[in-house]
Chain A
Amino acid sequence: MIAVPRVVLVGHDASATGAPLTALAFARWAAASGAAHVEVLLDRGGPLVAGFEAVAPTHVRARAAGEVVAAADALGGLSAGRWARRGALLTARPPTGADVTVVAASVAAWRSAAAVARGGRRLVLWLHELDGVADRVVPASERAILLEATSRIVAVEARVAAMATERWGVAEDRVSVVGSFVDPLGDGAAAGQATAHPPHDVVGVGSLVPRKGADHLVALTALFRQRGRDLRSAWVGGPLDGPYADLVRTDRAAAGLEDVLDLVGPVDDVGPWWPASGVVVHLAREDPAPLVVIEAGLRAIPVVTWDTGGAADLLRTAGLGHLVADAGDLVAVADAVEALLDDGAGRAEAGAALRAAATARTTDRLAPALLQAFTGGRG
């Protein structure tokens, strides 16, 4: 009889953002396939909690304990945060047994996962971040301690792995790459089925935070207006009440674009906002594993991006390097978008190429390799 591996996924929260969404897709696959027994420990809750609970035993740290840990972390004291975290974990009923693989499902969950793995359990860092986020969440001094306790790093993109080996100094044989993935499209969500309201020519999707670069969409739309082309654009994602949203709105007002650029805010389903006959732009300042590009690709919607993360790598894999501009090169992005908008056949061709590449990035194709990387073959 072959033992089913036990995996404890430790997540920083259950928000509908990249790392938690991928963790949920993995947990769902593990439950459906029976390939692994997965338990989930979350530092904080969020809209995906119900999804996790439906497929795996899920524990969310008590709110008060989470606040104490957050305050301890905010004070910047490594030992304070560590002790607070150990105490807080008692409230989350960590699993027992030495045979489990503990997976930090993001850098933000690394400290908590290390606390769970104490006592000789295998600790794996599932690395979704690049330098800007990773360095901010776990400073270098603390990272060295956590790396000592970590058996393996599984990176979601090659350039994330390069960060670990080249800038963190982790030996190459301790790092592997399994690409980020999304669930395959359900019925009715195929290419050209989107029903955006109103139809937008250019759409950006992601949290409304500086790193995702919604301000670049405003600048792009303004540049098109300056060129005499009034296209409609939209940014799908929130929050709309944060300080960055204020800056984006300020830019939009300064350029007089309120009538053509929609700030949609957070949505449960991006589906209606995909531009059926338009282009998705991905203008993040740093984004290692852009699930949104895979999602667009599965719908055969072309994406224009610049070279700041996994989106560029995916487009190049698809043979679409001409849709990758240098970082910050707004004019080159505008030229690429304009060419696609003006050429229906070229747009369809690019969409088809991206769909071919994105099809290889679905849960059913990559989750088995991910499980293998997590457990190192341990049953």
Chain B
Amino acid sequence: MTATRPVVWAVVRDLGRTGVPIALARLATWPATSEAVDLHLIARHDGPLRTELERAGIGVTALEPADGRSRAATVAAGASHLGRTDAGAAVLGAAWRRRIRNLPAPDTVLVQGAGAWPVAEALRAEAAPRIVVHLHELEVAVRRSIGPSSLPSLAAADQVLAVSEPVASLARSLGVPDDRLSIVGGTVDLVSSAARGRTDVVSVGEAGWRKGTDRAVAAAHVLRRREPTLRWHWIGRALEPGWAFAVDAPLPILHHAPVADPWSVVHEPAALVVPSREDPLPLVALEAAARSVPVIACRGAGGLDGLLAEGRGWLVDPTDPGDLAATVAEVVAARPTAGPEALRDHVERHHTLEAVGPRWLHALTGGT
């Protein structure tokens, strides 16, 4: 039966340990996937997930190194600086297509996240495959990755998968019809409930505007005045140049570099805090749920409003650092169980591989 499996190119911006690539890796390495499709993963930038994917038998082509640039990308950057952006893009696209010329022609191209859209456009598979877009972003991130001239192509995709209802709503506003739109959320493996301490809370993700690092810093200052023994950890890539505070400025948050398992960094976290501005459905919230760790988030960021509704978590006013700090302090002190258990039940029903995987594969195969 292997010969009849449809060939799928899954295109992703990078193989770093962030939400979009990890979401793909979980579905790609699900045993049912290799039975259903012949999957080839193409990433613009290499990264640490590559090893895990290859170990699972998935072919991976990284077009650019994790850090630095290929010769073609260097030429493209130079051309761009000289005002020859189109010529540079043509050089880069040709170089990338040479890298994948030995791959079997795809029946389906999966565009994993808006950040992969420019890569998929540059690759231009010639056999007119089905295009499936799995959107993991909200407005700012989508518009940053997909230019206005490409939005009609997005709307014309054969299938658009959204990780949460706010993302689906954005897709509708961009012209995606309901009959080609479905919700395919993130996945998580349930694990044993973690023991909960009283001294440490964590936030996880690439520090910056989107993840609301400034909100965390502001709230952590208030919290430090109120509960001096409570420590707030941030696990993830550091702020980009220009966004970082002066190096000698003392901050109330302990930063940790990204690691394969962020839950190994802090022993017995009392809560997960998600202060994001835009976060369609952070996998780390599902991971916290899987461990029965309470989740506190800023309202209005995306999929968390639904995930944490009905008492499954705590949603606070994003404009009030005092509210966030007070909620963190109260949750840490009260050590609630009902909310985290309700969230865990919800995740078990809606976000395991068994719950999500079949819908994802159905989209990739077109129901065949």
Contact = CB atoms under 8 A, between A and B. Distances in A.
B245 A328 contact: yes
B243 to A, nearest CB: 5
Contacts of B317: 226
Contact of A131 (B77, B246, B250, B318): B246
Nearest to A70: B81
Chain B interface main SS type: loop
B300 A67 contact: no
Contacts of B252: 326, 328
Chain A interface main SS type: helix
Interface stretch (B105-113, B128-136, B166-174, B319-327): B319-327
A83 B314 CA distance: 58
A18 to B, nearest CB: 15
B250 A331 contact: no
Interface in B243-258: 243-252
Most chain A CB within 10 A, of B82, B209, B248, is at: B248
A306 to B, nearest CB: 8
B82 A327 contact: no
A71 B320 CA distance: 44
Contacts of B320: 223, 226
Interface string A67-81: 110111011100000
Contacts of B218: 219, 328-331
Contact of A75 (B77, B215, B251): B77
A285 interface: yes
Contact of B78 (A74, A209, A329): A74
B82 A209 contact: no
Most chain A CB within 10 A, of B140, B243, B245, B320, is at: B245
B230 interface: no
B250 A255 contact: no
A132 interface: yes
Contact of B221 (A74, A75, A136, A332): A332
Nearest to B209: A247
A37 interface: no
Contacts of A247: 140, 209
Interface of B: 74, 77-78, 81-83, 139-140, 144, 209, 214-215, 217-218, 221-222, 240-252, 277, 300, 317-322
11 contacts: A130-B246, A136-B241, A159-B248, A223-B321, A225-B319, A226-B320, A254-B300, A308-B246, A327-B217, A327-B250, A328-B251
